[in-house]
Amino acid sequence: MEASKLPGFLLRRMVKAAIVVLAIVVCNFLLVHAAPGDPASVIAGQSGVADAVFLEQLRRQFGLDQPLYVQLWIYLKSVLSLDLGFSHRQQAPVAQLVLERLPATLLLTGAAFAFALAAGVTLGALAAQRVGRWADSVITVVALTFYATPLFWVGLMLVLVFSVWLEWLPSFGMSSVGVEMQGLEVVWDVAQHLLLPALTLGLFYLAVYARLTRATMLEVADQDFVKTARAKGVPEGRILRAHVLRNALLPVITFAGIQAGQLLGGSILVETVFAWPGIGRLAFEALLARDYPVLLGVFFCTSVMVVLFNLLTDLLYAVIDPRVEVAG
C-alpha cells in the first residue's frame, strides 16, 4: 500500500459512506412506517381500555398527526445534527436508550466474535493439516452440528446443563442484582453471566470459520507456490503458517468483516434467551411496540457499523495481501 494514496481513498470512501447511510436512513424511515399499526394503537391494545380522545392525544404527542413527508423531514434534520430523536413511549432520548444498551451488546458479540474467530481458524487449520484423519472428521462433524442447530436451542440446552443440573452458572441476565460487589468481583460476576450466551452465539460462527478456513487452506495447499516452497526445503510448520494460512485468510477476513458489521444486530435471539440487556432486544421490542424513533436509532447505529467495518475490511486486505491495493 502506498501511503500517499491513503488519505484520498479514505476521504472518497467517507463521502460515499455518508451518502449510503443517509439513503439507508430514508429507506428505514419509510419501511418502518409501512408496517401496519402505530405506537398509539399498540399502547391502546395493551392498556385494556381506550377511547378516541386517548388515541388522538397519543398520536399528537408522538407527532404522528403530521403528514409522513413532514415527519421524514423533521427526522432527517435531527439525524443530520446527530440527534437521534426522542422516544415518547419510553419518555427518554433515543441516544440515551441506545447508549445504555450498546456496551452489553458489544461485550457479548465482541466476546463471541473473538472466540469464534480464534477457535474457528485454529480448528479449521488443524482439520486441514490432518485432512482425512480422525481429528479432521471430528472437527468437521462438530462444526456441521453447530452450524445446523438453531441458536436458541443450543442456548436452552447449555442453560439446562450448566445452570439447572450442574448449577455452575446463572441462567440469565448480565450481572447479579441486589448484591454489593466491588472491582474484580464485578468482573468475575459479569464473566460468569457472559460465558453461556457468548458460547451460544460463538459456536455458530465458530463452525463457519472452521469450515471456511479448512476449505480454503486445502485449496491453497494444492497451489504451485506451496509445492515450490516445499521443494526448496521450507519447514512444514512455516509453510502452513506463512504460505498456506496467510493466503487462506482472505475469505475468512471477508466473512469476519461481514460478521463484525452485524455485531450490533445479530444477537437478538441470544439476547432474548439469556435476557441479556442488549441492543438487539431493544430493537426487537421497539419493533413490536412500533417505537419508531428507537427502531430507527438502532438501525442508524447498525448501518454505520456495517459501513465502517466494510471500510476496515478493505484496509485489512491490503495489509494481509500486498497485491491488493486500495482504490476508491
> 236, 247, 260, 264: which is closest to 313 by C-alpha?
260
Sign for the CA dihedral angle at 73, 78, 79, 84 comes to negative
CB 192 within 8 A of CB 169: yes
Strands 92-93 and 86-87 come out as: antiparallel
Residue with cell 477457535: 119
Residue 295 grid cell: 427502531
- Per CB under 8 A, the segment of 174-182, 184-192, 242-250, 257-265 that binds another protein is 174-182
Under rule CB under 8 A, residue 293 binds another protein? no
Under rule CB under 8 A, residue 34 binds another protein? no
Helix (H) or strand (E) holding 207: helix 183-221
Residue with cell 433515543: 94
Under rule CB under 8 A, residue 272 binds another protein? yes
Q: What is the nearest approach in angstroms of another protein to the Cβ of residue 113?
A: 21
In this chain, which of 20, 32, 135, 156 binds another protein, going by CB under 8 A? 156
State which residue, 198 or 289, has the beta carbon closest to another protein.
289
Residue 241 grid cell: 503458517
Euclidean distance between CA atoms 75 and 245, whole angstroms: 47
Q: What is the nearest approach in angstroms of another protein to the Cβ of residue 150?
A: 13
Q: What is the nearest approach in angstroms of another protein to the Cβ of residue 41?
A: 4
In this chain, which of 4, 7, 36, 224 binds another protein, going by CB under 8 A? 36
CB 21 within 8 A of CB 271: no
Q: What is the nearest approach in angstroms of another protein to the Cβ of residue 201?
A: 15
Under rule CB under 8 A, residue 180 binds another protein? no
> 237, 15, 252: which is closest to 124 by C-alpha?
252
Under rule CB under 8 A, residue 289 binds another protein? yes
- Per CB under 8 A, the segment of 17-25, 83-91, 122-130, 303-311 that binds another protein is 83-91
Residue 15 identity: V
In this chain, which of 127, 174, 198, 307 binds another protein, going by CB under 8 A? 174
Stated length of the chain: 328
Under rule CB under 8 A, residue 274 binds another protein? yes
Residue 204 grid cell: 455458530
State which residue, 82 or 177, has the beta carbon closest to another protein.
177
Under rule CB under 8 A, residue 139 binds another protein? no
Per CB under 8 A, residues contacting another protein are 35-38, 41-55, 57, 61, 88-92, 97, 100-101, 104, 152, 156, 159-160, 163-164, 167, 170-175, 177-178, 272-275, 277-278, 281-282, 285, 288-290
